[in-house]
């Protein structure tokens, strides 16, 4: 669910005139290897850059299972990679397809986008997101996963054992894995109340009805451009039984009753989430499900809740 937020910050930079979504990333990052020279910001946002895929969303990202990277992790005792070390590791992988030709879901690609925002703004992307999204919307709880996070003030990350016991797996997540998920691909931590503040902000209003500052609202008219031309994902079906599309940080589909729907799911070990906005002609409304249980299917719960609400509204 962090991906729509990162896409939003890149759109803000585009509206500010500080980058273009069709810029080659070499324009904003330090020297890139030859096989990355054709990759654009848009392709990274749309998972069509050819970077290695995340594979099964219920399993660790397959980049973290790469044999060469595992050897590097073991050699350093599991210590987290810095941003520069992550970028060097990503650049060492061969592309799975030429840029722009194939949808391959890539968490690594979104980590690269986070680094790119930092290069454009001259500060960590987390600072830019805090200043341009969290603070204007009053999202006081919002923060970023760090390698040293111990989950002490959060709902504990849980999984179900083979014999049906619910287990706290927080101590099992190594710093290197938390640092990876805490990059641009994920790791935004916030309360349900602050998620509601962000949702209201996407509609141009504060949750308490107050006016929002222009530094946040200036990009909202351009927001539909993110999902206007989705790329076929080639996997999964929407509520209406049709294939899903991916639109620059947003999964695009239609509801079971025919209303356009945009949103995103999320997973890191011990946590799963689902968020969807239903874009009706008369109104826009949203459903979010957050869980600290890997065995729960939040998308199914969200679809059920949305169906109940839609029957009442229609």
Average pLDDT over every residue of 104-127: 94
Contact 256, 239 (CB under 8 A): yes
Average pLDDT over every residue of 25-45: 95
Is 296 among the domain residues?
A: no
Average pLDDT over every residue of 19-42: 96
Q: Which residue is listed with tokens 């949702």?
A: 199
Domain count, the chain: 1
Is 158 among the domain residues?
A: yes
pLDDT tens, residue by residue, 55-64: 444 455 566 6
Is 101 among the domain residues?
A: yes
Q: How many CB atoms lie within 10 A of CB 111?
A: 29
Contact 199, 288 (CB under 8 A): yes
**Is residue 172 pLDDT above 90, yes or no?**
no
Is 145 among the domain residues?
A: yes
* Cα–Cα distance measured from residue 198 to residue 168, given in angstroms and rounded to the nearest whole number: 29
Is 43 among the domain residues?
A: yes
Q: What is the pLDDT of residue 58?
A: 44
Is 246 among the domain residues?
A: no
Helix (H) or strand (E) holding 45: helix 41-45
Of the chain, the percentage scoring pLDDT greater than 70 comes to 95
Is 39 among the domain residues?
A: yes
Is 307 among the domain residues?
A: no
Among the residue ranges 74-78, 112-116, 207-211, the one predicted with the least confidence is 74-78
Listed in sequence order, the residues at least 6 apart from 271 whose beta carbon sits closer than 8 Å to its beta carbon are: 157, 290, 291, 292, 294
pLDDT tens, residue by residue, 239-249: 888 999 999 99
**Is residue 77 pLDDT above 60, yes or no?**
yes
**pTM of the prediction?**
0.93
CATH code: domain of residue 41: 3.40.710.10
**Is residue 53 pLDDT above 80, yes or no?**
no
What domain range includes position 10? 2-167
pLDDT tens, residue by residue, 235-285: 888 888 899 999 999 999 999 889 999 999 988 889 999 999 999 888 899
């Amino acid at each position: 669910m962090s991906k729509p937020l990162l896409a939003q910050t890149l759109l803000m930079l585009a509206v500010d005139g500080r980058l273009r979504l069709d810029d080659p990333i070499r324009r904003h990052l330090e020297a890139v290897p030859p096989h990355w020279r054709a990759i654009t910001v848009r392709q990274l946002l749309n998972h069509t850059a050819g970077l290695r895929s995340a594979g099964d969303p219920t399993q660790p990202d397959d980049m973290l299972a790469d044999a060469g990277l595992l050897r590097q992790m073991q050699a350093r005792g599991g210590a987290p990679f810095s941003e520069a070390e992550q970028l060097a590791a990503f650049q060492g992988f061969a592309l799975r397809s030429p840029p722009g030709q194939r949808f391959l879901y890539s968490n690594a690609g979104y980590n690269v986008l986070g680094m790119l925002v930092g290069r454009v703004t001259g500060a960590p992307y987390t600072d830019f997101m805090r200043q341009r999204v969290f603070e204007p919307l009053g999202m006081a709880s919002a923060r970023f996963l760090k390698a040293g996070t111990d989950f002490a003030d959060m709902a504990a990350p849980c999984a179900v054992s083979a014999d049906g016991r619910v287990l706290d797996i927080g101590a099992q997540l190594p710093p290197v894995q938390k640092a990876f998920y805490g990059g641009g691909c994920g790791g935004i931590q916030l309360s349900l109340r602050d998620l509601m503040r962000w949702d209201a902000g996407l509609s141009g209003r504060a949750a308490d009805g107050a006016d929002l500052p222009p530094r946040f609202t200036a990009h909202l008219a351009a927001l539909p451009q993110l999902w206007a031309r989705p790329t076929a994902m080639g996997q999964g079906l929407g509520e209406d039984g049709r294939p899903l599309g991916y639109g620059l940080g947003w999964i695009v589909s239609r509801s079971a009753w025919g209303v356009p729907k945009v949103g995103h799911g999320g997973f890191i070990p011990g946590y799963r989430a689902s968020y969807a906005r239903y874009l009706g002609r008369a109104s826009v409304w949203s459903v979010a499900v957050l869980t600290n249980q890997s065995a729960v299917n939040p998308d199914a719960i969200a679809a059920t809740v949305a169906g109940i609400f839609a029957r009442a509204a229609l």
